[in-house]
Structure formats: structure tokens, C-alpha cells
Amino acid sequence: MFKNRSIKTLASLAVLASSVGVVASVSNGAASAATSSNCATSDLSKVTSPVHITYWESTAGDNLKAMKALVAAYNASQHKVVVTDVNQTGGYTDTWNAYTLSGGSGANVFMDDMNNTQAHVDSRLTTPIADCVSAAKFSTKTYLQKTIVQQTIGGKLQAMPYSASVPVLYYNQQAFTAAGIKKPPTTIDEMAADAHLLTVKGATFSPQKYSDGMSLKNDPWWLELWSAMGKTYYVDHQNGRAGRATSVSFDNARNVSLLTKLQNMVKSSDAKSYSRDGAGLAAYNNLFAISGDKSGMTIDTSAALGTIQSYLPLFKNVTLGVAPLPRLLASDNGGLQPGGNALSLSSKNSALENAAAFNFISYLESATNLASWDASTGYVPITTDAAKAKAISTLWKKKPYYKVAYDQINTGGASNATVGPALGDYYQVNTDVANSLNSLLTNTSVNPATAISQAAATANGHISSYNSSL
Amino acid sequence: MSAKRSARVREATLGYALILPALLLVTVFVLYPFFRNFSLFLYHAPPYPGLPSKWAGLSQMWETVSSTSFQQGLEATLLYTVLVVPIGVLLGLVFAVAAHQKLKGMAIYRTIFATTAVSSVAVAAVVFGTFMNPVFGLLPWLGIDPNPSVLQNPTWAMFAMAVIGLWQFVGLSFILFSAGLQSLPEEVLEAAKIDGAGAVRSFFQITVPLLSPTIFYVFTVGTIAAMFTFGQMDLLVGPGGASFVRVNTLAYQIYQYAVTTPNPGVAACISIALFILTATITFLNFRFLERRVNYAT
């Protein structure tokens, strides 16, 4: 009986492993053979009965409500296409995994992490959206060029950028004023000095009121961003954009210096590290540390701005301040690479389905609808038209800190160095860097140079194994 | 064909028809995936469906089980099992004996203990994760503010995982022991009482031997379940920190290689290794513990 139980339990786990290999196969030539004939935009105008398409997205909370409203408005606005919106709970990774397990037939159009586009190309389960852009004569001129360069792999626009965000420095203006800090830090050295002031030298508070100075979230994304700010590559072959990435490039003196500075903040008790993971509200501990008067500042995604804004009235001890992510060197001028999500087309779509899906995407990305989406979610407008729309200009006028993230993406020009890596095994490398950050920031006896070299060695092994498996 | 034979055929046909749905489910969701593992582990499987697999032979298995991450996973799995199972069996037994009294309100007491068994790991993780939260949890409220926090600390994270596992396992253990206690012959216990045996002596010399089949069952089932735990690791720590804080159990590694960063060949290797490990421990349980079981009730 017991053996049967163990067999059963093991076998259940094995379903996960085996199912990856047994779901429907996909034509290897689909992506490479893509042409504008993949997108029958002219046929769509002639259809007499609507084309039904399935859209997978992974929004949650208020963002989900806003998304449902946009889909409903699109369906009501025309009679050629009917979109069925399927909310995939669990985030981008789960949506992408479900999509690959469906062999590309689960959705006609889906939302995924902007950083996962190389995996789409490797999987051959998506069609480059460039086919539809060209067939529909859709202009990407008004798009923030970093979002376009980021989604371009192999010379073709693979996915349509949709929601963008970048990390910003959140700080409590009341804490800064009390500590005698006149303006937010612009470099990491200034950030460390301010964190120290918050812990020991309050003008109107007793020493140690802000015991942690700064709450540091251990997010591996930061390493990519600080690399982009300094216009240095995160992986080889120009961030995997001049050729397939074969090894990481982040094991360098610049990043050792960066991590040493962050570790020193923890070592001197001017900062406390918090995990980026955790159940319930634990992923926001760095922000709760501010509302709980433990720390005076933190770094987190600008996409959290909407949520922070809605909870702010509960915390009278906090006056929100938002500043650009401090630079490692004052001379760093690369700006920030966008994070967020992009919309992709399935390689299983017929030309008509591609046209229908792109028609829907075009609707979502009209200036008015983008502005409405961004204003209700806190995401950054990805087109200059959306940025000029009334919803956004009014918001920026009323709450100027919403514009901080937009300006950071717009800084530094779009190049392979400033848009982040194109890496098929992105999530595994991300995990390797997270482990290194965790070890550095929770155990201050760990040498930063050793930790980053170990992260690089592990990540290189994973990249090599991934590349050889394709 | 005689009428008797025809009736037998009809009966057999009906029997097979009745078990067919269950058989199909077991075949599709248990047997096929289980045996599929044994072909997957021989190939470097692609991360996406439709791409060709490459022959790896036994080398992939050797590379996997000799890797540092597998060895860390093995240590984490065994440590978790050792922390949860013996204490869970003991506490379940103690609570079940305490609840085996004919007192007013005992049903409520039994229900409270049993509920932990039916709470999902997600609920348990959120509850305990909130207790252990370094900003608004129970520990900072008590003035304990460890840096790094419990869940970020390689020394304490596994104990935190074990507390959650224990909380859930004690409920199951309690239910099984409560059922076992109710089936014990009252006359034997009463005879011992008449012969002058005290509560402690009765417990160790009569209750425990008579409950030994249940104890063995709970221990074995608990061990198997503990070997496959990864829910609280995923919910409270995540793949980014699990290996650093040493809670990256083998089952969690299988999940990561199967789902988070797909590498089905490696997932299959770890699945097979974990199967062999669990089967061996179960065999040893039978070989050495079952000798002490008294089935004569």
C-alpha cells in the first residue's frame, strides 16, 4: 500500500515533467517563414461573421478590472472581432508556461514579461508582430524607442510593448525633513549617506527612530538596470542582441563596486535587506518598513505607485516622495530599460486570426486607451501620443511623481546596452543572481567579488545547457 | 454457453465497466507519467515542446545526482523529514490520547486539532508567513527583530518550514490516532485498571502496543509525505532564495525544473532519484519498524 502511495505521489509530480514533452508539437518553420502574408488585414475588413480570438493576460486587482473594461469596450466598438479575455492567475511565468504547454494553441494573443521575448523566439511558438505592423502599415514612430529596440530580436519586432515600468526611489519626505536631508539622493554614495543620516542624526526625532535607514529589496532586476545605466552589457554579444548570448558579462569591477556599496550599507546597519518573494503581503515588506517608520526610503517598481497611492491616506506619518533610481556613478547616463509586459501572437494563428489579434492590440494601444490604462494602473505611457493625452497630462500635473519613471526610460537613448538582455534562459539567470544578492545582503562576511563570480559561473552553466538543448 | 457461464461473463463485464473510469484516470495521470520519466531521464529534453530531444544516456542522471544542488536538496529533504515526522507522530498521539476522554465539549477540541489537516498549505503559509514577517509579524511585535529575518536566514529558514509542516501533519496524525484509539478493546484497558495499572503504565504497556499498527502507518505515510514537500518553500521563500537558505528540497527542485525553468530531463532524473530514495526508506521502515508492530488486537 505504501509503495503504491509513493508511486502515485511521484507520478503526479512526474506529470509536470513529462507533459512538457508530450503536448502538441509545433511547426519549426512557422516563425522563420513569417511574412506579411501571415497577417491578413485586408481580409479582416471583408469578413461577414466575427473572428473569435482568445486573449490570455495575467493582470490582478484593479488592473484586472481596467483590462476587462478595455476588452468589453473593444468588443462593443466593432463587429469584426470578438475577444475572449482569459485571466491567467499566477503572473507572467505561469502564463508563459501554460502557453508553451498548450503548444501555442491556448491563446491567439497573450501578455508576457517584456524580458522573456528571446524565449518566445526560441520556442517557435510565436509569430513576429512585425508581420502585422507591416501589413497594417502601423506606425511605431511615437513609441519610446527603448521599448521597440528591446522587443526587436533578429531584426524583427517580436512582440508589441504594452505596459512599462522601471524602479524608482520611494522615500518618506517627513523622514527626510526630520533628518535634515534637503533633496533625494542621485547617486548610490549619496543614498548610503542619507540612509546613515536617517538612522542616527534626526533633527526632530530621537536617534534610531528610523532604525533601518533604508529597506533594500533583494531584486536581481536591479543588477540589469544598473548595468544599463552605465551602458554596460549584462550578457555577451551586445546583450544577446548581436548574436545569441552565450555567457554573462556582469562579473566586472563596476558591479563588484556596486554590490560592495550596497553590502556596506547593510554591514553598517544603515540598511536592512528584504526578500523579493513571499506569501501575501511579504513581497512589499520594504514598503511596509517605510509606513512602519522603520526605514525612510526604498527602491521598488514604479508599477507599485498606483497601489501605494491608494493606501497612502492610511499612513499620516508618510508623505510620498518619488525620485529617479540613484546612479552608481554621477556620469552614468544610460537611463533605465523598461520592464513590464508585451503582447505576442501565437504561431498557430491563421493569417486572419493574426489580423484580428493585431486589430485588438491596435485598439489597446491607441493613445486614448493607453493613457486610460496607464492612468488607472500606474504604468508608464509607452508612446509620446499617450503621454500627451489628457488623462496622463492631468495626472502628471496633479501628481508629478508619476512622470519620474517615464523620464528615466526616455533618458540615455535606445541601444543594445540600454534595453537589457535578450536571454532565453532569463528566469534561471535571474534566480542565480538572486541567490548571489541574498548571500551578499544577508551575510555581510560574503565577499562581493566572490559572490558575483559564483553567480556568473552558475549562470554560464545554465546558459550553456539551455543553448545546447535548443 | 450455459446460463451460469453467461451470468459470470455479464458480471465480469459489469465489473470491468465499473472500474474503467478509475483505471483510465490512473493510467493517464499516474502510470503513464511515471513510466514516461524513465524515457525522459535519458534525454536532454528541450525547454519547449516540438523541439528535438538529444540522447544523454545515463550521463544526465550522474551529472544531476552528483551536482551540489542535488546534494543540498537531499540534505534539505532529509532534515525536513527528520524535523517533522517524529515530532508530528508524538504530538498527534499525545493530543489524541488527551482528546480520548468522555468530557463535555471534547468534540470542539477534536475539531480544532483536526482542522489543521484540512487546511491547505497556502493557508498555512500565509498564516505562518504573517507571524514570521519581519515588519508587521509576531516576532517584531514581541520585540524580536532578527537581521536577516527568519525566512532569509540559512540557519532558521528550514526550522520555519518544519513548523508549518508540523502544524499540518499533527492534524492528520491526530485524526488517525483518534480513530485508532476508538477501535481499542475497552475490556483490556479496564482489566489493566482493575489489576492496578496506573494511567502512565496503561499508556506505555497497553495503549502504545495496541496502537502500534496505527503508529507505524502514520510514521510511514508521514515520511512519504514529508519527502515530497515544497509548498511552503515556494510560497514563503521562492526559487530565488531557496537554495541560499537551504530549503530547496528535491521535490521543489523537480517543480522548478518542470515548471519555472523547464528542463524536463533533469526533472525526471530528480524524480527517479527521489522515488528510489523514498522507496528505500519505506522498505527500511517495513524491514525494521514493522517487527515491533503488534497486530493482535
- For B270, the closest chain A residue by CA position comes to A14
CB proximity B243 to A under 8 Å: yes
CB proximity A279 to B under 8 Å: yes
Q: Give me the pLDDT at residue A12, please.
A: 43
Q: What one-character DSSP code corresponds to residue A252?
A: S
At B58, list the grid cell: 545515463
Rounded to a whole number of angstroms, the distance from the CA of A293 to the nearest CA of chain B is 10
Q: Give me the pLDDT at residue A279, please.
A: 62
Rounded to a whole number of angstroms, the distance from the CA of B273 to the nearest CA of chain A is 10
Spatial distance between the Cα atoms of B224 and B213, rounded to a whole number of angstroms: 17
A165 sits in which H/E element: strand A160-165
| Yes or no, beta carbons of B275 and A10 under 8 Å apart | yes
Co-location of A78 and A91 in the same domain = yes
pLDDT digits (tens, 9 = 90+) for B97-135: 888 887 788 888 888 888 888 888 989 998 898 888 888
Q: Give me the pLDDT at residue A122, please.
A: 95
Stretch 62-91 of chain B: residues touching chain A, C-beta under 8 Å: none
Q: Is residue A12 part of a domain?
A: no
| Yes or no, beta carbons of A465 and B152 under 8 Å apart | no
Co-location of A347 and A362 in the same domain = yes
B62-292: CATH homologous superfamily?
Answer: MetI-like (1.10.3720.10)
Closest partner residue to B49 (CB to CB) among A21, A119, A294 is: A21
User: For the domain that residue A362 is a member of, what is the CATH number?
Assistant: 3.40.190.10
Co-location of A326 and A347 in the same domain = no
Co-location of A348 and A299 in the same domain = no
pLDDT digits (tens, 9 = 90+) for B205-228: 888 899 999 999 999 999 999 999
At A218, list the grid cell: 533583494
Co-location of A439 and A303 in the same domain = yes
Longest dimension (CA), chain A: 74
Residues B166, B158: contact at Cβ < 8 Å? no
Cβ-based burial of A79 (10 A; exposed 0-12, middle 13-18, buried ≥19): exposed
Closest partner residue to B258 (CB to CB) among A6, A17, A275 is: A17
The tally of CA atoms less than 13 A away on the side-chain side of residue A303 is: 17
Spatial distance between the Cα atoms of A331 and A346, rounded to a whole number of angstroms: 42
| Yes or no, beta carbons of B271 and A13 under 8 Å apart | yes
Q: Which residue has the cell 486610460?
A: A372
| Yes or no, beta carbons of B240 and A435 under 8 Å apart | yes
Residues B253, B51: contact at Cβ < 8 Å? no
Residues of A in contact with B268 (CB under 8 A): 14, 17-18
pLDDT band at B289 (very low <50, low <70, confident <90, very high): confident
CB proximity A2 to B under 8 Å: yes
Q: Which of A136, A183, A114 is nearest to A341 (CA)?
A: A114
**Strands A295-301 vs A213-218: parallel, antiparallel or unpaired:** parallel
Q: Is residue A10 part of a domain?
A: no
Co-location of A202 and A310 in the same domain = yes
Stretch 334-363 of chain A: residues touching chain B, C-beta under 8 Å: none
Co-location of A330 and A342 in the same domain = no
Q: Give me the pLDDT at residue B296, please.
A: 63
Rounded to a whole number of angstroms, the distance from the CA of B229 to the nearest CA of chain A is 11
pLDDT band at B1 (very low <50, low <70, confident <90, very high): low
A363 lies in which domain range? 35-165+338-410
Co-location of A149 and A196 in the same domain = no
| Yes or no, beta carbons of A470 and B238 under 8 Å apart | no
Residues of A in contact with B271 (CB under 8 A): 10, 13-14, 17
Co-location of A59 and A205 in the same domain = no
| Yes or no, beta carbons of A289 and B260 under 8 Å apart | no
Spatial distance between the Cα atoms of B297 and B294, rounded to a whole number of angstroms: 8
pLDDT digits (tens, 9 = 90+) for B39-80: 899 988 888 888 888 888 999 999 999 999 999 999 999 999
CB proximity B40 to A under 8 Å: yes
Residues A230, A328: contact at Cβ < 8 Å? yes
User: Would you kindly state where each structural domain of chain B is located, as residue ranges?
Assistant: 3-55, 62-292
CB proximity B116 to A under 8 Å: no
| Yes or no, beta carbons of B135 and A101 under 8 Å apart | no
**Strands A156-157 vs B54-55: parallel, antiparallel or unpaired:** unpaired
3-state helix, strand, coil in chain B (%, to 5): 75, 0, 25
Q: How many CB pairs under 8 A join A and B?
A: 220
| Yes or no, beta carbons of A9 and B224 under 8 Å apart | yes
Residues of A in contact with B262 (CB under 8 A): 20, 97, 100
Total number of domains constituting chain A: 2
Q: Give me the pLDDT at residue A280, please.
A: 63
Q: Is residue A231 part of a domain?
A: yes
Best of B135, B243, B252, B283 to mutate (most A CBs within 10 Å, chain A)? B135
pLDDT digits (tens, 9 = 90+) for B158-192: 999 999 999 999 999 999 999 999 888 888 888 88
| Yes or no, beta carbons of B47 and A123 under 8 Å apart | yes
At A364, list the grid cell: 489597446
Closest partner residue to A277 (CB to CB) among B36, B237, B263 is: B237
Co-location of A440 and A348 in the same domain = no
Closest partner residue to A17 (CB to CB) among B47, B148, B254 is: B254
Q: Give me the pLDDT at residue B261, please.
A: 76
The last residue of one of the domains, among A381, A410, A439, is A410
**Strands A109-113 vs A339-346: parallel, antiparallel or unpaired:** antiparallel
Q: Give me the pLDDT at residue B197, please.
A: 83
CB proximity A117 to B under 8 Å: no
What is residue B201's three-state secondary structure?
helix
At B154, list the grid cell: 540559512
Which residues have CB under 8 Å from A373's CB, separation 6+? Answer: A66, A67, A70, A163, A364, A379
Rg (CA), chain A: 23
ipTM for the complex shown: 0.73
The tally of CA atoms less than 13 A away on the side-chain side of residue A215 is: 27
Residues of chain A with pLDDT under 50: 1-35
pLDDT digits (tens, 9 = 90+) for A91-147: 888 899 899 989 999 999 999 999 999 999 999 999 999 999 999 999 999 999 999
Q: Give me the pLDDT at residue B46, please.
A: 85
Stretch 157-216 of chain B: residues touching chain A, C-beta under 8 Å: none
CB proximity A314 to B under 8 Å: no
Residues of A in contact with B239 (CB under 8 A): 431
Q: Is residue A173 part of a domain?
A: no
Q: Is residue A27 part of a domain?
A: no
Closest partner residue to B240 (CB to CB) among A273, A425, A434 is: A434
Spatial distance between the Cα atoms of A59 and A450, rounded to a whole number of angstroms: 38
Q: Is residue A274 part of a domain?
A: yes
Co-location of A348 and A327 in the same domain = no
CB proximity B244 to A under 8 Å: yes
CB proximity A439 to B under 8 Å: yes
Rounded to a whole number of angstroms, the distance from the CA of A429 to the nearest CA of chain B is 10
